[in-house]
Amino acid sequence: MRWRSSCLRLILFLSAFVGKSATEFRVCAYNVQNFNLEKASNDRLMHHLKLVLIRCDISLLQHVVDPDGQAIQKLLSVLNRYEEYNYQAVSSDGLGNSPSDLQKYVFIYRTDTVNMTGQHQYKSKESFIREPFVVRFQSQNTTIGDFILVPLHSEPSRAVLEINKLYDVFVEVSKKWNNMNVMFLGDFHASCAYVTQQDRKKIRLYTNSDFNWLIQDREDTTVTDLTSCAYDRIIVYGEPFLRAIKPFTAKVFKVDAEFKISRSQVVELSDHYPVEVVLKSSALFLQATPLLILMIIQSFLSAL
């Protein structure tokens, strides 16, 4: 009886880890298209946005039009109301050339799984309409550990120039923090008429092979049938960061298909889909395949 009891306890223990192996560290980017207090006051839209964000340990939101921060506070209230994790936000000031169109970059992150350890506002009006608001994060749940996120919501007509200038941002922030683990993410408009095959010769993040484009050209990050373009991208620098990415997890998250909601409802929130990638877990045991764990469980069951 004691052997049977010990085996059952071990089976329950291993079964718990099978479940935990599905827990992954996910980084997401979403152009939420004029996210303002009006959108934040729409319960249905907020519910759909919550479903997207609770999947992610860090989410970059772009095109946030929220001068006094009330819209993001409403969003945090929704996220923290019933969810397992606690969420906080770090935000840039309003950025842009026009007082009527000042947009923020906002990072929403789980305080349970990641720490925000630094922030830096890049300054160059000649290079960007909305200069990247760079944030440094640290997580013991990932093999990469300490990494930097560089956001960009490019001005479409200046996409080639702005994507190329991300290299200068990389040089500045990697020196500032003595850290080469840099990820670029956001709506770059890096496709279709804004960035052509010929344009890539002018973009250092294309011509330098150390930069790895995780969202490929064939993807469609737009919601409507009017366009089929890989506007939204995720890029990482260097072999160490590339090795820290879980293979085949960089993708476009099709909100309508995943949550069984109409495309017209998705468009009310944004005409872009989120993009995402999963970082490898730092816990080696959690990276064991469910099949291996099930084989262990089966061997103990046969001994009962």
Give residue 300's Cα distance to chain centre.
40
Q: In angstroms, what CA-CA distances link 174 with 36, 140, 153?
A: 33, 20, 20
Reported as a single tens digit per residue, the pLDDT across 217-261 is 999 999 999 999 999 999 999 999 999 999 999 999 999 999 999
Q: How many CB atoms lie within 10 A of CB 199?
A: 17
Question: What pLDDT score does 113 carry?
Answer: 96
Backbone angles phi, psi at 161, to 5 degrees: -60, -50
Query: pLDDT tens digits, residue range 189-223?
Result: 999 999 999 999 999 999 999 999 999 999 999 99
Write the secondary structure of 106-140 as one string of H (helix), E (strand) and C (coil). EEEEECCCCEEEEEEECCCCCCCCCCCEEEEEECC
Look up residue 61 and give its amino acid.
L
- Mean pLDDT (whole number) for 153-166: 98
Report residue 6's pLDDT band, with 50, 70 and 90 as the boundaries. Answer: very low
Contacts of residue 294, defined as CB under 8 A and 6 or more positions apart, other chains included, come to 18
Name the pLDDT band for 303 (thresholds 50, 70, 90): low
Q: Mean pLDDT across the stretch 122-129?
A: 92
For residue 33, give both structure tokens. 């298209």
CA distances from 239 to 141, 212, 242, 250 (A): 19, 9, 5, 16
Query: Does pLDDT of 161 surpass 90?
Result: yes
Q: For residue 119, what pLDDT band results from cuts at 50, 70 and 90?
A: very high
Per-residue confidence at 81, pLDDT binned at 50, 70, 90? very high
Lowest mean pLDDT among 29-33, 121-125, 167-171: 121-125
Give the Cα separation of 133 and 154 in Å (integer): 13
Res. 296: pLDDT tops 70: no
DSSP labels, 64-76: E--TTSHHHHHHH
The C-alpha atoms of residue 46 and residue 108 are separated, in whole angstroms, by 14
66 vs 189: CA distance, rounded Å: 23
Question: pTM for the complete prediction?
Answer: 0.86
* pLDDT value, residue 282: 85
User: In the predicted model, is pLDDT for residue 301 greater than 60?
Assistant: no
Between 99 and 293, whose confidence is greater? 99
Domains of the chain: residue spans and CATH: 23-303 (3.60.10.10)
Mean pLDDT score of the chain: 89
Looking at the predicted structure, is the pLDDT value of residue 86 above 70? yes
- Give the CB-side neighbour count of residue 8, counting CA atoms within 13 A: 5
